[in-house]
Structure 1
Amino acid sequence: METHEIRERFTQHFVKAGHEAVPSASLILDDPNLLFVNAGMVPFKPYFLGQQNPPFPNGTATSIQKCVRTLDIEEVGITTRHNTFFQMAGNFSFGQYFKEGAITHAWALLTGSLEEGGFGLDPQRLWVTVYLDDDEAANIWHEKIGVPKERIQRLGMEDNYWSMGIPGPCGPCSEIYYDRGPEYGAEGGPVADDNRYMELWNLVFMQNERGEGIGKNNYEILGPLPKKNIDTGLGIERVACILQGVDNVYETDLLRPVIIEAEKLTGSKYGEGVAHEDNIRFRVIADHSRTGMMLILDGVTPGNEGRGYILRRLLRRISRSAKLLGATEPTMERFMNTIMDAMTPSYPEIADNRERIIRVAVNEEKAFLKTLESGTKLFDEAVGELKATSRAKTPKVLSGSKAFELHDTYGFPIDLTLEMAHEAGLDVDMKGFDAAMNEQRSRAKADNRAKKHGHTDLSLYREWVDNDPTVFTGYDELSSASKVIGLVRDGQKVNEVHEGEHVEVILDQSPLYAESGGQVADHGRIVAGDTLLEVGDVQKIGKRLWVHKATVTSGGLDLGSSVEAIVDEKWRHGAVQAHSATHLIHAALRQVLGPTAVQAGSLNRPGYLRFDFNYTEQLTPQQLQEIATITNQAVDADLEVTTIETTLDKAKSMGAMALFGENYGSQVRVVEIGGPFSIELCGGTHVKHSSQIGPVSVLGESSVGSGARRIEAYSGLDAFRYYSKETALVEGVSRELKVQSTDLPERVSSLAEKLKAAEKEIESLRNAQLAARAAELIASAQDVNGFKVVALQLPQGTAGGDLRTIATDVRNRLREQDAVVLLGAVSNGKFPFIAAATPSAVERGVKAGDIVKQFGQYVDGRGGGKADMAQGSGANAAGAESGFAAVKDGLSKLAAR
């Protein structure tokens, strides 16, 4: 049975049972606790916590949620069941059925016949586990379902008590396992062998809320949830593994095609009789190709932190594994095409994003192959230095800090460093590497904890979200008669607020726009008689409640008061200009760059906008100019702006574009500017005609991470002010250079060429002076027991770079002798110094690094370097002569050995 059919059977089973089918949310949700959605219940968390009432008529739902768990990266390919990306099928009950209903539904689907829509599994091969003291679940399994007591096992919190690993809903669970047979391991059920007995389904009896804590059992149970709920998770990939009769999740119909493609590209083989390490690499390629593709699909681009770092790590592990298997050419495009072919039937949106996904993945592969080359050079340098400074019989060990630098800076997996070190006859200080890694993890955990602690407790607003959602009137008016239905001060509900206090005001209706979709919140006022509140921010809670953050500047306000909510007209005017201009730039961008330039975020405030989009190449000046021209042509065309409310499916059929990571309801708002010119899903406020935007000045574009670019622009009066400022600047330069503005480019270019020529001549004269200085220094060289020594303080102002140039020149001229150079000079209040030694001097035991350390003691400085060249900096030039003498004395003793 193909995976796509497994998904369909699951959904239809629960739809027939009265559950509402809910589409998968994006892998990226606005939750500071999570990098990615890591469980099927995450999108439903507000309903479990009681922060919102579930919007499902029967109080039940079913979904097949895209999930990514990054903690499993190192396990991929080693075990038979770990995927970084997986599809979690679940059924959810919000205060409706509980344990018996969940168990009955699951058993019916698993053991039901194929003809009736079930999976047709043999009930005699199914085992279950329950929480230690959950007699209720155990009795249901035995008495209601008929599972023999010997196939019901009890486990503790580590295995059978579920939470997301962070504060939130939790509860005991019951897991269903499938016995794959004696060829897979020992008898005795899941407690004996969880490889033979593969977990298929986890039924979570969500009834409690957990607090802060670490691990699966070291946290406090804060108390019961408002209702007893059901959250289940069936692993689609694991069911496919069983129904398709394959050994592991990497050999199912979705991932096996990637392994086959990898065999073609590498010349290696997968399966029995193949080295275990090679099989792991094939599985890594298959798993990571799918995860990387799905992350790019949902708007993630490679980067050095957060989600981008995870994606970068996955893609680089693919490239590394392919090279180890024998690939000599780039492989990413073929892997991505293969996995997209396999996944598109379940995720049709892949087809519209195919070119973009390939571009992002392929560019990351190219960057990594270059990085691999750079990192290899660093590794070779470290090895060369290590071999030069280590004694013959001393074990040669690459430092943990150097191994960590290769990992952290160059993206080298530690296994790559270990392999290269082994080939070079070196060991690696793994304790030092692990210490550096743990330090980095500690910083990351501390940062994550800080983010979690800053997570707002939304339960305070639950009553209003459920019963009194705000009516937004700001599309049609800038002032509204409203009633105060809530007041919050310092995180507590209050009945009255007074002058000077910073408060949150909740109104039954409001014309003030709440920040969302990249548009900042309106500024405005709340007025009642002599009472005035200045509103500086408006935020949404649960997408339904407007919370006005305000300061009481005069008077006071009581709960239940009638007020007038007023938008700052000037603020709104500038905001709608910028927001509508953002839509025009998006449309122009796609005309110039094509449909693969997809929006990745935006910000628009009065007079200013920025627009982020997924694109891997820097825009040319001509492209940027074309985008600006198309945008302003649309302004000049006075295009009508219309909005309609429709279904999400209808909006998509119209060609409306959606923002990545945004989850839309069944009804959406479509904003059209000039009909087909721009059609987007958008809840923001806009001008009525494009001409009301005024001029749009595109300031430029820049990189905001690998595969992501940003355009910034001014709109309206701010654009006019920018143009005026630029015009005044051009006129001023024209007057100064005494040319017409049209001739400025040619004149500036001519001056730049003259400047370059002058700088080149100055540099040539300077180099000649330095060369002459080197000749003078050689003439002053002293003989110290067979060493030719140049040790002098140069004139004040000689920079460190010049010291290095002179020292290198002197050493090169004395290359055939046992020569040592030590130079210093006062420069910008410091005393830089440098030491150099010829190859024959190094062979006699001279180490420039040791000379620098010795000399540094006399000038209150420090430094270091290699045997042939080292440098440092001090603060006490008065000790230089003593330092020179000490170095000469040391060389004399060395020569006498």
Structure 2
Amino acid sequence: METAEIRRRFLDHFEGNGHSVVPSASLISPDPSLLFTVAGMVPFIPYLTGQQTPPWQRATSVQKCIRTGDIEEVGKTTRHGTFFQMNGNFSFGDYFKEGAISYAWDLITKSHDDGGYGFGEDKIWVTVYHDDDEAAQLWKKVAGLPDERIQRRGLLDNYWHTGQPGPGGPCSEIYIDRGAEHGPDGGPVVDEDRFLEIWNLVFMQEQITDVKAKDDFTVVGDLPSKNIDTGMGLERVAYLLQGVDNMYEIDQVRPTLQRAADLSGRRYGADHTDDVRMRVVADHVRSSLMLIGDGVTPSNEGRGYVLRRLLRRSVRAMRLLGVEDTTIPELLPVAKDCMKAAYPELESDFDRISSVAFAEEEAFRRTLVTGTQIFDLAADEAKRAGEFALPGDTAFKLHDTYGFPIDLTLEMAAEQGLKVDEGHFRRLMTEQRERARADAKAKKTGGADTSAYRQLRDAGPTPFTGYEELETESRVRGLLLDGMAVPGASEGETLEVVLDRTPFYAESGGQDSDAGVITGDGFELEVLDVQRPVKGLIVHQVRVLKGEVISGQDVHAKVDREWRVGACQAHSGTHIVHAALRQVLGPQALQSGSYNKPGYLRLDFAWGQALGAQTRSEVEEVANLAVRRDHAVSATYMPLERAREVGALALFGETYDEEVRVVEMGGAWSRELCGGTHVAHSSQVGLITLTGESSVGAGSRRVEAFVGIEGFRHLAKERTLVSQLADLLKVQPDQLPERVERLVAQVRDAEKELAKARSSELGAQAAELAASARDVYGVSFVSHTAPDGTAADELRSLALDVRGRLGAERPVVVAVAGAGESGRPSVVVAVNEPGREWGVKAGALVRVAAQTLGGGGGGKDDVAQGGGTDASKIGDALTQVEHSIGQAVTG
């Protein structure tokens, strides 16, 4: 049974039992405490916790998920994958344990002809939470399961939560006995390879917090209603019903694995190590495809780092399989063809997806070259020092700075006969993770304890009136200080205020929050920031300028009018620039992120190369023509599906309600889902001046612009600068390019003449130095301290010239050193072939000299270069080189 058919049967089964079919949410989690959607229930968390009223009592979905906690296990086991699909059915205060068990049993045991999966009843085992007698009795009642096939387990196995504060509950898991050839008998408590879990029925009924581990948390109370949340692993069911050994061999994955095998010329199934690498490739390429499809781009933090790691692990695995050429262009289209039946958007968006993935592979290939050079130097140094292991900090630097996976470093070290100090490396990695966790905890708004916000939200959402007005009468619903409710606050204090209604826009959709004041009887509050820590609740961070504010007081909330005008100009300008980019570059130039505030905007978009000056000028012209045409700007609410039908663009990774706001400029010219504030006509945006364009990761670019009066001020500054230069050079402004070009040419000619003179001077100096060579243990040795300001490349040229003049009849060593313009010393050593045959190596001599200078260096045996920090030690460094020649020659 194909995976797509398993998926269809699941949805049909539950739709036929009164469940609404809900499309998969994005892989980018709507929960700010989670990087990714890690389970089918994540999009439903607001309904499970009672924050929002669900639009249905029963729902079913097939949710895209990403989990990376077990990434090192991918390919080694039958069931670990980074991307997977979770079939789920949900009840929000409707049916509970008996309903969940009945629906599950019916689907898995029903024959193929009747629309089920046809698993034999005698092959089915279940587990329940250790004290859940009710679930155990229901399995007997509904399914007739004997006691021996109902096993009880503790928190670690049979209690489910996301790993963050939120909903949780005991669960009952369904297992299929794969047969004696897969392991010992005795049920899942004995062997979870033979007894494979396919479905987890979670009885979601508790609110938890203080989560330290899967089995270490605090239950703070019951949820508002008893809910059902189930998760069936689509890939696991697929490999059972398709008669294959693991998830990498199902119809949605195996073709990519086979393509990796074909490219490598190796046969899948012939060697366990190769098999693991092919599975890694198949899994990671598919996962990368799905992540990029949902708007993630490679970067060095957060979701982007996970994607980068997956792509680079894929490239590395292919390299270990013997493939040195680019491979993602061969593998990604195969993965797309496997997945497009379930996710047709992958086909239509493949140009963008592939450009991001291909660019990342090219970047990593360049990284491999640089990192390999660093590794080679470190390995040579370790062996010369008599060490048998590469230092852990070197391995960490390769990983952190150059993107080298640790197992690639281990492999290369083994080839050199070295180990790696993995203990030190792991400690450094742990320290980095702890710093990252602390940083993330400091930044995130949703992962901390939000109970105080939720209590305020329980009283109802905060109506936003700012689309229609900039001032409103309201009342203080609550005051919070450091996340705790307080009765009041006095002058000088900074705290958070929740109002009954507000005209202040909360930061979202790339638009910065409003500024303004909140006033009341005897007090004034300056609004510093506005956020939505939980959905539906608007929270104002304020500073008490005077008086004392008390919860329950009536207030007047007033947005700074100039600030809002500037914000509207910038946000509408962002839409205009986005539309202009798509008009000039094509529809694949989709926005992937933005930020705007009064007078300024930046926009990230999918594009694989820098924009030339002419292209930037064209985008700017198209944007300002749209401003001049005075397009009407309108905002309309409509169902999400209707918005998609009319072509409204959605920002990747954003989560939208079933009812959405569509902002149009000039009709279809710009049509986007957006909750921000906007001008009424495009002419009100004013001037749009592009000021910069840069890369923000593989396959992603960023443009920046000033808007309105700030755009005018930027051009005014440039006009003043042009005027000053024209006066200085005594030409008309339109003659500046020609005059500057002529000056640059003159400077270059002068530099060439200076270089020639310098070369002649060095040549004469080289002849004198060659004549001054001294015999050191049979080696012709020249040492020289160059004048201050001599560049390192000049030192190198001089050393090579002197070496050449001394010929190849006897061993020659030339060592020259000097302090450059910065005052930092450099040293170059050159050794001819007879010298190398005598055991004298330039790299070893340079390291001795550089250490004396307080630095380091290295290179090849014939010529090497180093540097340091203490120029006063140059004479000592050259003396050390001479001593080392004697040690090398005499042994």
Q: Give the equivalent residue in structure 2 for 1:90.
A: 88
1:452 to 422, 432, 441: 441
Q: Give the equivalent residue in structure 2 for 1:593.
A: 585
Alignment of 1:478-877 (within 5 A): 478-814=470-806, 816=808, 817-825=810-818, 832=825, 834=827, 836-839=829-832, 840-846=834-840, 861-865=854-858, 869=864, 871-873=866-868, 875=870, 877=872
Shift of 1:525: 1.8
Asked if 1:41 is matched to 2:41, the reply is yes
Partner AA of 2:54 in structure 1:
P
The whole-number CA distance in structure 2 between the counterparts of 1:829 and 1:333 is 46
- Residues 849 and 863 of structure 1 are in contact (CA less than 8 Å); yes or no, is this contact kept in structure 2? no
Alignment of 1:272-287 (within 5 A): 274-287=270-283
The whole-number CA distance in structure 1 between the counterparts of 2:824 and 2:523 is 67
- Residues 404 and 433 of structure 1 are in contact (CA less than 8 Å); yes or no, is this contact kept in structure 2? no
Q: Give the equivalent residue in structure 2 for 1:147.
A: 145
The whole-number CA distance in structure 1 between the counterparts of 2:398 and 2:492 is 55
- Residues 124 and 174 of structure 2 are in contact (CA less than 8 Å); yes or no, is this contact kept in structure 1? yes
The whole-number CA distance in structure 1 between the counterparts of 2:201 and 2:567 is 48
Summarize deviations over 1:416-472 as a string: whole Å, max 9, x none. 5555566x5x32313x14532441243123312442365442221223323321221
Q: Using the aligned pairs only, state the percent identity.
A: 50
- Residues 48 and 169 of structure 1 are in contact (CA less than 8 Å); yes or no, is this contact kept in structure 2? yes
Partner AA of 2:315 in structure 1:
S
Q: Secondary structure at the match of 1:642?
A: strand
Shift of 1:501: 2.6
Shift of 1:487: 2.4
The whole-number CA distance in structure 1 between the counterparts of 2:358 and 2:516 is 48
- Residues 54 and 92 of structure 2 are in contact (CA less than 8 Å); yes or no, is this contact kept in structure 1? no
Against the structure 1 CA distance between its residues 399 and 841, is the aligned structure 2 distance closer, same or farther, given a 3 Å change threshold? farther
Asked if 1:221 is matched to 2:211, the reply is no
Against the structure 1 CA distance between its residues 873 and 236, is the aligned structure 2 distance closer, same or farther, given a 3 Å change threshold? closer
Summarize deviations over 1:842-864 as a string: whole Å, max 9, x none. 4434455665676678x774545
The whole-number CA distance in structure 2 between the counterparts of 1:506 and 1:831 is 58
- Residues 472 and 509 of structure 1 are in contact (CA less than 8 Å); yes or no, is this contact kept in structure 2? yes
Greater mean alpha carbon deviation, residues 475-484 or residues 8-17: 8-17
Summarize deviations over 1:456-493 as a string: whole Å, max 9, x none. 42221223323321221111122122232222234222
Partner AA of 2:361 in structure 1:
E
2:185 to 173, 184, 187: 187
Alignment of 1:43-82 (within 5 A): 43-49=43-49, 52-58=51-57, 60-82=58-80
The whole-number CA distance in structure 2 between the counterparts of 1:319 and 1:12 is 39
The whole-number CA distance in structure 2 between the counterparts of 1:15 and 1:270 is 40
Greater mean alpha carbon deviation, residues 709-718 or residues 224-233: 224-233
Q: Give the equivalent residue in structure 2 for 1:357.
A: 353
Alignment of 1:153-172 (within 5 A): 153-172=151-170
Q: Give the equivalent residue in structure 1 for 2:306.
A: 310
Q: Secondary structure at the match of 2:630?
A: coil
The whole-number CA distance in structure 1 between the counterparts of 2:322 and 2:824 is 53
Shift of 1:753: 1.7
Summarize deviations over 1:34-72 as a string: whole Å, max 9, x none. 33221222233344455x1442443x4333221111123
The whole-number CA distance in structure 1 between the counterparts of 2:729 and 2:742 is 12
Summarize deviations over 1:155-179 as a string: whole Å, max 9, x none. 3333333333344443332211011
Q: Give the equivalent residue in structure 2 for 1:435.
A: 424
Shift of 1:752: 1.5
- Residues 292 and 311 of structure 1 are in contact (CA less than 8 Å); yes or no, is this contact kept in structure 2? yes
- Residues 837 and 846 of structure 1 are in contact (CA less than 8 Å); yes or no, is this contact kept in structure 2? no
Shift of 1:215: 4.7
Greater mean alpha carbon deviation, residues 291-300 or residues 374-383: 374-383
Q: Give the equivalent residue in structure 2 for 1:131.
A: 129
Partner AA of 2:437 in structure 1:
N
Against the structure 1 CA distance between its residues 198 and 854, is the aligned structure 2 distance closer, same or farther, given a 3 Å change threshold? closer
Partner AA of 1:289 in structure 2:
V
Q: Give the equivalent residue in structure 1 for 2:335.
A: 339
The whole-number CA distance in structure 2 between the counterparts of 1:333 and 1:130 is 46
Q: Secondary structure at the match of 2:285?
A: helix
Summarize deviations over 1:267-292 as a string: whole Å, max 9, x none. 44434xx2223333332232222111
- Residues 818 and 874 of structure 2 are in contact (CA less than 8 Å); yes or no, is this contact kept in structure 1? no
Against the structure 1 CA distance between its residues 327 and 830, is the aligned structure 2 distance closer, same or farther, given a 3 Å change threshold? closer
- Residues 824 and 831 of structure 1 are in contact (CA less than 8 Å); yes or no, is this contact kept in structure 2? no
- Residues 702 and 710 of structure 1 are in contact (CA less than 8 Å); yes or no, is this contact kept in structure 2? yes
Against the structure 1 CA distance between its residues 505 and 429, is the aligned structure 2 distance closer, same or farther, given a 3 Å change threshold? same
Greater mean alpha carbon deviation, residues 190-199 or residues 289-298: 190-199
The whole-number CA distance in structure 2 between the counterparts of 1:406 and 1:605 is 39
Summarize deviations over 1:673-698 as a string: whole Å, max 9, x none. 01111001111111111111111111
Against the structure 1 CA distance between its residues 333 and 895, is the aligned structure 2 distance closer, same or farther, given a 3 Å change threshold? closer
- Gapped regions of structure 1 (runs ≥ 5): none
Number of equivalences: 883
The whole-number CA distance in structure 1 between the counterparts of 2:689 and 2:853 is 55
Alignment of 1:9-24 (within 5 A): 9-24=9-24
The whole-number CA distance in structure 1 between the counterparts of 2:326 and 2:819 is 52
TM-score, structure 2 normalization: 0.91
The whole-number CA distance in structure 2 between the counterparts of 1:416 and 1:186 is 36
Q: Secondary structure at the match of 2:495?
A: strand
Summarize deviations over 1:723-754 as a string: whole Å, max 9, x none. 11111211221222222222222222222122
Shift of 1:538: 1.4
- Residues 726 and 732 of structure 2 are in contact (CA less than 8 Å); yes or no, is this contact kept in structure 1? yes
Partner AA of 1:102 in structure 2:
A
- Residues 779 and 812 of structure 2 are in contact (CA less than 8 Å); yes or no, is this contact kept in structure 1? yes
- Gapped regions of structure 2 (runs ≥ 5): none
The whole-number CA distance in structure 1 between the counterparts of 2:263 and 2:880 is 63
Against the structure 1 CA distance between its residues 834 and 373, is the aligned structure 2 distance closer, same or farther, given a 3 Å change threshold? closer
Partner AA of 1:223 in structure 2:
V
Q: Secondary structure at the match of 1:482?
A: strand
Greater mean alpha carbon deviation, residues 605-614 or residues 771-780: 771-780
Shift of 1:96: 4.4
Shift of 1:798: 4.1
1:236 to 234, 254, 257: 234
Shift of 1:98: 3.8
The whole-number CA distance in structure 2 between the counterparts of 1:722 and 1:742 is 19
Greater mean alpha carbon deviation, residues 547-556 or residues 782-791: 782-791
Q: Give the equivalent residue in structure 2 for 1:291.
A: 287
- Residues 401 and 433 of structure 1 are in contact (CA less than 8 Å); yes or no, is this contact kept in structure 2? no
Shift of 1:775: 2.3
- Residues 20 and 61 of structure 1 are in contact (CA less than 8 Å); yes or no, is this contact kept in structure 2? yes
Shift of 1:73: 2.4
Q: Secondary structure at the match of 1:545?
A: coil
- Residues 774 and 780 of structure 2 are in contact (CA less than 8 Å); yes or no, is this contact kept in structure 1? yes
Asked if 1:4 is matched to 2:4, the reply is yes
Against the structure 1 CA distance between its residues 47 and 758, is the aligned structure 2 distance closer, same or farther, given a 3 Å change threshold? same
The whole-number CA distance in structure 2 between the counterparts of 1:396 and 1:804 is 32
TM-score, structure 1 normalization: 0.91
The whole-number CA distance in structure 1 between the counterparts of 2:686 and 2:321 is 58
Partner AA of 1:120 in structure 2:
G
Shift of 1:93: 3.6
The whole-number CA distance in structure 2 between the counterparts of 1:258 and 1:884 is 58
Q: Give the equivalent residue in structure 2 for 1:258.
A: 256
Greater mean alpha carbon deviation, residues 575-584 or residues 81-90: 81-90
Shift of 1:642: 1.2
Greater mean alpha carbon deviation, residues 760-769 or residues 526-535: 526-535
Shift of 1:717: 0.6
- Residues 54 and 94 of structure 1 are in contact (CA less than 8 Å); yes or no, is this contact kept in structure 2? no
